[in-house]
Amino acid sequence: MIKYIAYCRKSTDEKEKQVLSIESQIAELKEFAAREKLVVTEYLTESRTAKIPGRSIFNQVIEKIEKGEANGILAWHADRLARNSIDGGKIIYLLDTGKIIDLKFPTFWFDNTPQGKFMLSIAFSQSKYYVDNLSENVKRGNRQKLRKGILPNKAPYGYLNEPRLRTIEIDPLKSKIVKKAFELFAEGESSIADISRFFQKFGITRYTGKMLHLDTVKRLLSNKFYIGIINFGGETYEGTHKLFLPPELFGKVQKILEARKHPKPRRNNFTFLGLVKCAECGCAITAEVKHKCYPTTRGNVDYIYYRCTKKRNDCSQNYLREELVEQQLRAIVAKSSLPNSWAKLWLEKLDKEETEEKTNSETAISKLSSKILEIDQKLDRLLEGYLDQIVDPQIYQQKKNELVELKIKLKEKMTSISKNGSESAAFLRI
Ligand SMILES: [Zn+2]
């Protein structure tokens, strides 16, 4: 008598609509077993993909058969059993050695004859072909998109996947929310959690409606996609999507994120510390707060005092109220202020520099564009070296990423100069 183990599988990532759910597979197999009068010892189910060997329930089935607990397998279709060469080979081997006497499928005819085994191995390799082809098609599609500068993934917040053109476009509403979030964070007062709360307030949340995870927000705030860089599979590509964030704003946010990584120990924030030294002995100045209480008139009042640290022991200076330090400093600064009569001359000089600046910007831009051209040539040479197998794949990838990032930075600089003039001009206008 042949004892069958029924095996049902539906992988979680399977997109094929025609594959029955595990429950319906069991129902069909039960009906089939009754009709064919099969003895089924147990029903085992698994919800994992068969692309990679090592499914635990499938291995249990094989083990049970090797131990002789059963000598037949019942499944909905041959592709439920194997989609990789190892598992397919195992089944055929068990048939060859006689451990499996029969396989039954409601949707596929099998007979334990040389012809039947031949048909089975074709069914196995067909399902393997299906899987290989699927992933190859996905990879090919990804490469094609990356070549065109399109991220082959779900669009980051603020963007949407255009289903017809298969591009990534700016989401008119969400892009405004994301930009506002960057602006908020760039002010330096908001925490990551504040930004997440801000997103929730305006409807950018997890699927469940809960606040975005803090790591998600951090990744969003540092995602270079927003300045036109695509990172995919460890490689960097130049994106062709439109930008809605000014690169300067993105840079500002990166600086804040970087600074928050190494928080400085927080000290009392006294205005004039580090600015002045003791005039008598040259030691550093320290400051402290004194609390005073005037029960009948003003209540609690804090006074800030500055004093010499007297590290060298021979200083006669006393405490000084902050207001007095300020007065002294004002007196010093006043000495070096400029007379009004100079203003006209300075303004003329500014005008002259502005004209000079224009020519400077032009030369700077032409320099930058020749640098960019150089990088493009380097990229070409690098690719040739890689294709000729002179350059290791790892080095190729690393170098390529560096060059692409540099190129994007130079391009940013170019737009910034043509918009605001070179750095010196931007500084003078403030
Ligand atoms: Zn002193």
> What Rg value do the Cα atoms of the chain yield, rounded?
36
Cα of 337 vs centre of ligand 1, distance in Å, is 28
If asked whether residues 204 and 238 sit together in one domain, one would say yes
Report which residue type is found at 120. L
Q: Which of 143-166 are b and which e, b meaning 16 or more Cβ less than 10 Å from the residue's Cβ? A: eebbeeebbbeebbbbbbbeeeee
- Helices 85-96 and 56-67 meet at what angle, rounded to 10? 10
Cα of 325 vs centre of ligand 1, distance in Å, is 14
CA torsion, ordered 16, 18, 22, 27, to nearest 10 deg:
-170
Continuous segment of H or E residues that includes residue 130: helix 114-147
Residue 330 in any domain: the answer is yes
Tokens linked to 391: 């350059």
If asked whether residues 217 and 175 sit together in one domain, one would say yes
Cα of 319 vs centre of ligand 1, distance in Å, is 10
Cβ 56 vs Cβ 38: under 8 Å: no
CA distance 370 to 393: 28
Cβ 353 vs Cβ 425: under 8 Å: yes
HSE at residue 157, side-chain half, CA atoms within 13 A, is: 25
If asked whether residues 172 and 243 sit together in one domain, one would say yes
Closest CA to 238 of 389, 407, 88: 407
Cα of 102 vs centre of ligand 1, distance in Å, is 99
* Extended beta strands in 210-356, E state: 229-232, 235-238, 285-294, 299-308, 320-321
If asked whether residues 235 and 328 sit together in one domain, one would say no
Of 135, 169, 192, the one marking the end of a domain is: 135
Tokens linked to 251: 């840079």
If asked whether residues 164 and 222 sit together in one domain, one would say yes
Low-confidence ranges of the chain (pLDDT < 50): 17, 424-430
Cα of 3 vs centre of ligand 1, distance in Å, is 98
Residue 268 in any domain: the answer is no
Cα of 275 vs centre of ligand 1, distance in Å, is 15
If asked whether residues 313 and 365 sit together in one domain, one would say no
Of 203, 227, 261, the one marking the end of a domain is: 261
Cα of 143 vs centre of ligand 1, distance in Å, is 69
Cα of 277 vs centre of ligand 1, distance in Å, is 8
DSSP 199-224: HHHTT---TTSPPPPHHHHHHHHT-G
Cα of 274 vs centre of ligand 1, distance in Å, is 14
CA distance 353 to 69: 93
Q: How far is CA 247 from the centre of its chain?
A: 17
CA distance 243 to 237: 15
Continuous segment of H or E residues that includes residue 117: helix 114-147
Residue 270 in any domain: the answer is no
Task: State how many domains the chain has.
Answer: 4
Cα of 212 vs centre of ligand 1, distance in Å, is 54
End-to-end CA, the chain: 94
Q: Which of 220-233 are b and which e, b meaning 16 or more Cβ less than 10 Å from the residue's Cβ? A: bbebebbbbbbeee
Cα of 54 vs centre of ligand 1, distance in Å, is 77
Cα of 368 vs centre of ligand 1, distance in Å, is 53
Cα of 321 vs centre of ligand 1, distance in Å, is 16
pLDDT of residue 259: 86
Cα of 306 vs centre of ligand 1, distance in Å, is 11
Cα of 289 vs centre of ligand 1, distance in Å, is 19
Closest CA to 318 of 308, 329, 328: 308
CATH number at residue 248: 3.90.1750.20
If asked whether residues 309 and 256 sit together in one domain, one would say no
Cα of 283 vs centre of ligand 1, distance in Å, is 5
If asked whether residues 117 and 76 sit together in one domain, one would say yes
Cα of 428 vs centre of ligand 1, distance in Å, is 39
Query: ∠ CA(140), CA(142), CA(146), 5° rounding?
Result: 120
Q: What are phi and psi of 307, to 5 degrees?
A: -150, 160
pLDDT tens by residue, 100-127: 999 999 888 888 888 888 888 888 888 7
pLDDT tens by residue, 25-64: 888 899 899 999 999 999 998 887 777 777 888 999 999 9
Q: What are phi and psi of 275, to 5 degrees?
A: -95, -30
The parent domain of residue 248 ranges over 159-261
Query: What are the Cα distances from residue 50, in Å, to 82, 87, 137?
Result: 6, 9, 18
Cα of 290 vs centre of ligand 1, distance in Å, is 20
If asked whether residues 122 and 239 sit together in one domain, one would say no
Q: How far is CA 226 from the centre of its chain?
A: 11
If asked whether residues 102 and 193 sit together in one domain, one would say no
Residue 315 in any domain: the answer is yes
Of 83, 102, 135, the one marking the end of a domain is: 135
Cα of 311 vs centre of ligand 1, distance in Å, is 8
Phi-psi region of 256 (alpha: psi -120 to 50; beta: other; left: phi over 0): alpha
Query: What are the Cα distances from residue 117, in Å, to 88, 93, 129?
Result: 11, 10, 18
Report which residue type is found at 108. F
Q: What are phi and psi of 38, to 5 degrees?
A: -95, 145
DSSP alpha helices (H): ranges in 262-388? 322-335, 343-387
Residue 170 in any domain: the answer is yes
CA distance 73 to 61: 8
Cα of 269 vs centre of ligand 1, distance in Å, is 22
